[in-house]
C-alpha cells in the first residue's frame, strides 16, 4: 500500500511530552521569576535573600505563580490598579486550567505557570495545595464578604496561609508533616491579618471589605460606612482586634520555625517580625493609621533581620501562652 493510500491512524500523532516546567529551561524560568519578585514584592525579595541558593530559587518560582494568579484574578499587572471585573469567573477557570496543566508537566505558554509546575515537581507541592490558594481568588471573584471572624480566617487561609504551606514544602518540610504545615499556615494568617489592618481604607476604595460583618454590627456601623471619618475610633478598635489575632498566630508560627534549617528559619523569623511590625504600627497609630500608608522603613527591616538572626541561631523562640489546638483543618471548608 502506498503512503497516499495508507489510512490515518490516530495513535500515530505525536503526544505532547510531560516534562516538569513544560520543557522550558530551568535557568530561564528562575531568572524570569527573580525579576517578577524583585518588581512585585520588595519585602519578599529581601527575605528570600536569606535562603540558600536552591531554596531561594524555588521560592522565586513559587512567587511567580502566586503573583501571576493574583494578576489574572484581579485583571491587573504586578498588583496595580484593578481592571474590569466582569469576567472574573472565566479568569479563575483559566487559572485552574493552566495550573493543572503545569502540574501535569505540559507547556502552558506562560512562564509563571511553567515555573510552578517545575517547583511543584521538585518539592512535592500537591494539586490540593494549589487549589486551596485558587479558592481564595474565587472568593474575591464571588464578591464574598466574611460574616464572622471564622469566615475571615478562612479567607486568610486561602489567600495566605495556603501559600505559607507551600513555602514550607519549598523549605524542605515533608508534605506529610501536618503539624509543621499547620504552623506554616499560622504564619500566612498573621501576614494577611496585618495586611487587612493596614489596607482597610484601600480595600474599601476597591469595593472590598475583609472585616467581619459581625464586628461592624457590634460597633453599630452602617453598611458601607466603616471608613468614614466619624468611624475612625471604631475602625482603630477593630484594627487592634486584628493585631491581637496577628500576635496569636505569629507566636504559633515560631513553633514550626524551630524545625526548619537555619537559613530558612532566619528568613521566616525576619518576615514574621517585619509583617508583625506592620500590624503593630497600625495599632499604635490608632485612628490616624489610614491617613497615610503604614510602612516599615528599610533600616527597621534590617534591624528585624539582625534580631531574627540571633533568634534563629539560639533557636529557642517563646511559645504561645496557651495550648495550640487549631490547624489547617479548622480553616479549610469541609
pLDDT tens series, the chain, 334 aa: 444 444 434 444 345 667 777 778 899 999 999 998 888 777 677 777 889 999 999 999 999 999 999 999 887 665 556 556 678 889 999 999 999 999 999 999 999 999 999 999 999 999 999 999 999 999 988 888 999 999 999 999 999 999 999 999 999 999 999 999 999 999 999 999 999 999 999 999 988 899 999 999 999 998 889 999 999 999 999 999 999 999 999 999 999 999 999 999 999 999 899 989 999 999 999 999 999 999 999 899 899 999 999 999 998 777 788 889 999 999 887 5
Nearest by Cα to 182 from 159, 167, 161, 196 = 161
Write the CA distances from 156 to 118, 185, 233, integer angstroms. Answer: 26, 9, 24
Q: C-alpha grid cell for residue 258?
A: 524551630
The alpha carbon of residue 44 and the mean position of all alpha carbons in its chain are separated, in whole angstroms, by: 11
* Domains, the chain: 20-143 (no CATH), 145-334 (1.10.600.10)
User: Measured between alpha carbons, how far is 272 from 249 in angstroms, rounded to an integer?
Assistant: 10
Contacts made by residues 211-217, CB under 8 angstroms, sequence distance 24+ = 211/146, 211/152, 211/238, 212/146, 212/147, 212/148, 212/149, 212/151, 212/152, 213/145, 213/146, 213/147, 213/148, 214/147, 214/148, 214/149, 215/149, 215/241
Cα torsion for 212, 217, 223, 226, to the nearest 10°? Answer: -70
Q: pTM score, two decimals?
A: 0.88
Output the nine-digit C-alpha cell for 15. Answer: 503526544
Is the distance from CB of 153 to CB of 139 less than 8 angstroms?
Answer: no
Q: How many CA atoms lie within 13 A of 100 on its CB side?
A: 7
User: Helices marked H in 199-317 — which ranges?
Assistant: 200-205, 213-218, 232-257, 262-285, 298-314
Amino acid at each position: 500500500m502506498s503512503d497516499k493510500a495508507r489510512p490515518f491512524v490516530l495513535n500515530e500523532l505525536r503526544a505532547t511530552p510531560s516534562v516538569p516546567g513544560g520543557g522550558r529551561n530551568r535557568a530561564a524560568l528562575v531568572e524570569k521569576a527573580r525579576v517578577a519578585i524583585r518588581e512585585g514584592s520588595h519585602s519578599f525579595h529581601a527575605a528570600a535573600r536569606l535562603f540558600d541558593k536552591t531554596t531561594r530559587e524555588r521560592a522565586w518560582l513559587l512567587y511567580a505563580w502566586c503573583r501571576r494568579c493574583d494578576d489574572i484574578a484581579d485583571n491587573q499587572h504586578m498588583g496595580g490598579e484593578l481592571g474590569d471585573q466582569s469576567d472574573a469567573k472565566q479568569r479563575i477557570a483559566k487559572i485552574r486550567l493552566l495550573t493543572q496543566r503545569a502540574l501535569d508537566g505540559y507547556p502552558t505558554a506562560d512562564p509563571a505557570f511553567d515555573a510552578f509546575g517545575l517547583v511543584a515537581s521538585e518539592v512535592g507541592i500537591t494539586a490540593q495545595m494549589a487549589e486551596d490558594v485558587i479558592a481564595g481568588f474565587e472568593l474575591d471573584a464571588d464578591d464574598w464578604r466574611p460574616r464572622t471572624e471564622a469566615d475571615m480566617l478562612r479567607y486568610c487561609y486561602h489567600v495566605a496561609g495556603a501559600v505559607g504551606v507551600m513555602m514550607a514544602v519549598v523549605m524542605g518540610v515533608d508534605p506529610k508533616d501536618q503539624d509543621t504545615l499547620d504552623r506554616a499556615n499560622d504564619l500566612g494568617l498573621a501576614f494577611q491579618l496585618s495586611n487587612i489592618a493596614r489596607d482597610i481604607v484601600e480595600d474599601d476604595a476597591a469595593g472590598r471589605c475583609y472585616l467581619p460583618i459581625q464586628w461592624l454590627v457590634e460597633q453599630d456601623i452602617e453598611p458601607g460606612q466603616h471608613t468614614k471619618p466619624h468611624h475612625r475610633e471604631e475602625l482603630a478598635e477593630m484594627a487592634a482586634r486584628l493585631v491581637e489575632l496577628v500576635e496569636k498566630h505569629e507566636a504559633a508560627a515560631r513553633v514550626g520555625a524551630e524545625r526548619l534549617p537555619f537559613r530558612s528559619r532566619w528568613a521566616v523569623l525576619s518576615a514574621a517580625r517585619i509583617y508583625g511590625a506592620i500590624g503593630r504600627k497600625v495599632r499604635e497609630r490608632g485612628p490616624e493609621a489610614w491617613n497615610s500608608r503604614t510602612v516599615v522603613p528599610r533600616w527597621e527591616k534590617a534591624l528585624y533581620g539582625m534580631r531574627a538572626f540571633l533568634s534563629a541561631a539560639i533557636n529557642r523562640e517563646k511559645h504561645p501562652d496557651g495550648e495550640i489546638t487549631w490547624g489547617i483543618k479548622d480553616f479549610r471548608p469541609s
